[in-house]
Amino acid sequence: MNKIQMRNVFAFCVGFLALFAGCAGFTEDVSGNTSDNNSVDRRQIESQYALARVAQSGKVERSSADDSITITFEQNGGCVKDGESFAYDQNFYFANSKTYAYSFRDDTLLLTRIYEPGPYEVNQERYEESFIFVGGTPGKLDGIWENTQCRYREEKIYCMNDGYDQYFKFDGDNVEYRVADHEDYDYMQTVFVDQLFDFLGNGGSIQLETPYYYSDTKYGQESSGIVILEKTNNTVKFTHADLTFELSVDYARYKDSLHVTLKSGDVSCVGTVRDMDDVLPGMCSDDNADYLWKSSSGAYTYERMNSNEFETCIDGILGRKREL
C-alpha cells in the first residue's frame, strides 16, 4: 500500500465513523466482565474533560422511544477551493450524522451500532458492537462520559490502547466531543517506531502521520536487527548495524503537531508534522496548496510533514543511497 492509500485509510479511520474506536491500535481480547474496571471517579473524569480540548460539537436527537440517539457533528466555516485558488468560506457548513442505540449496563453507557466494513477492509463481515463509556450517572444519558476504548462484540470484550482519551458531554439536545493525550503513553511501542525499525533494516518508508504515533503495536526489532539498550515512554536507546541510536518523541499532540528526533553520533534527524482538520483562515491560501487535502466534508484539511528529509537523513547515517 503506497503513501496516498495509507493517507486515505487513516483519513477514514479518524473520521466520524471511528470517533468511538481506534483504527490501527493493538486490539486485545479480554473476554469477561468490565465491572472491576469501571469503578471510576466521576469527579476525576469531569476534571480531565475540563482540561481536554474541544474537537467537535453538535446536536443530539433522541428517538420517541428514548432508546436511540442520532449524533450530528457540525462544521461551520472551512477552507474551500474557489476555482483554482483556496479561500476561507465563513458560510461553509457541513453536518455528519450517525445513529446509535443506547442502553446502560451497571454503571456503564453502551452505544451500539452495526459496523459496516470500509473500502479497504476485504473479507470483513458486518457485525454489531457496543462501545463502553463510564463516568456519567447510571441510567441517565446527560452528563460527561469517557470512552473506555473497550467494546462488546458478540458479548466478548475487546480493548484498544490508543494514546488519546475521548470524552463526550451530552446536555439535552447538545453534544460536545473532546480529546486529550494520554499521560505517560508509551510512544516507543507504536506503529511509528515499528516502521522506523523496519526502515533501518530494510529501507522503504516511514509514515509520519499522527495516527501512527497513537496506535499501539509490538516491536519489530527482531526482524530489523534492533537491540534495545534503554527505554522510557518517550525515548529509546538502541543499536543497529554497529551503530548506537537515540530516539525521542519531543512533542506530541494528537491531531495537531509532532516533533521527533533520531540521533546517532553527531547527527540528528528531525521529523515534524503539523496537522489541522479545521484550517485557520490564515492557512487557507495558495501558498499552502501542497499541504491542503480535500476531506469528505468538501472542505480542506492541512497536513505538512518532512518525511523525505527525515528518511534521507537516516539513510545518510547508514551510508545508504537514497532511492527516489
Residue 81 pLDDT > 90: yes
Q: How far is CA 136 from the centre of its chain?
A: 24
Output the pLDDT for position 219.
59
Long-range pairs of 287-290 with CB within 8 A, sequence gap ≥ 24: 288/86, 289/86
Output the pLDDT for position 40.
65
Output the pLDDT for position 323.
62
Spatial distance between the Cα atoms of 202 and 96, rounded to a whole number of angstroms:
41
Give me 266's grid cell. Answer: 553527531
Segment 16-24 mean pLDDT: 46
Residue 17 pLDDT > 60: no
Segment 103-114 mean pLDDT: 93
Mean pLDDT of the chain: 85
Spatial distance between the Cα atoms of 125 and 116, rounded to a whole number of angstroms:
8
Residue 177 pLDDT > 90: yes
pLDDT band at 205 (very low <50, low <70, confident <90, very high): confident
C-alpha distances (whole Å) from 129 to each of 157, 194, 254, 295, 323 are 10, 29, 25, 26, 44
Segment 93-105 mean pLDDT: 95
Segment 100-119 mean pLDDT: 90
Output the pLDDT for position 28.
46
Output the pLDDT for position 223.
64
Give me 33's grid cell. Answer: 466482565
Output the pLDDT for position 36.
42
Output the pLDDT for position 39.
52
pLDDT tens column, 214-241? 877 665 556 678 899 999 999 999 999 8
pLDDT tens column, 276-314? 999 999 999 999 999 999 999 999 999 999 999 999 999
Output the pLDDT for position 82.
87
Output the pLDDT for position 38.
42
Return the bridge partners of 272, or none: 259
pTM of the model: 0.80
